[in-house]
Amino acid sequence: MMAIKEKTTISLDAQTKRDGIAMLDAMGLNLSTFAEMSLRQLVRDGRLPFTPSVRPSFEKDNEGYPLFKANMDDPRIVTPQIRDGAVILPEGWDDDED
């Protein structure tokens, strides 16, 4: 016996929806199929079908590139400068082999 389908309306951030649909499309899926797959797994397993996580957000420089913050007291960490989208390496990092 085939289950009766119901229409459901959800609100999504427009950019997240576009990005998600593009990724699903690359996998040969659509948003409805993904939603149903996720809900079926939720019901079957009694838990979320993924591990929620938080992606760190980065401040951006005036050219739109992310600024990475580091512990500047650690001598192993060198923060390169970015100029016109190119990384400017510190003096002494030049390799004579290339």
- Backbone phi, psi, residue 66, to 5°: -65, 145
Indicate if the pLDDT at residue 1 is higher than 80.
no
Residue 79 pLDDT grade (very low, low, confident, very high; cuts 50, 70, 90): low
Angle at 96 between CA 91 and CA 98, to 5 degrees: 110
Total count of residues recorded for the chain: 98
> Lowest-pLDDT range, 12-16, 17-21, 85-89?
85-89
Partner residues linked to 67 by β-bridges: 59
pLDDT for the residue numbered 96:
65
Residues contacting residue 17 through CB under 8 Å, at least 6 positions apart:
31
- For 15-71, write each residue's pLDDT tens digit: 999 999 999 999 999 999 999 999 999 999 999 998 887 666 667 778 877 776 666
Question: How far lies 56's CA from each of 42, 47, 53, 76, in Å?
Answer: 26, 24, 10, 22
pLDDT for the residue numbered 56:
62
- For 41-51, write each residue's pLDDT tens digit: 999 999 999 88
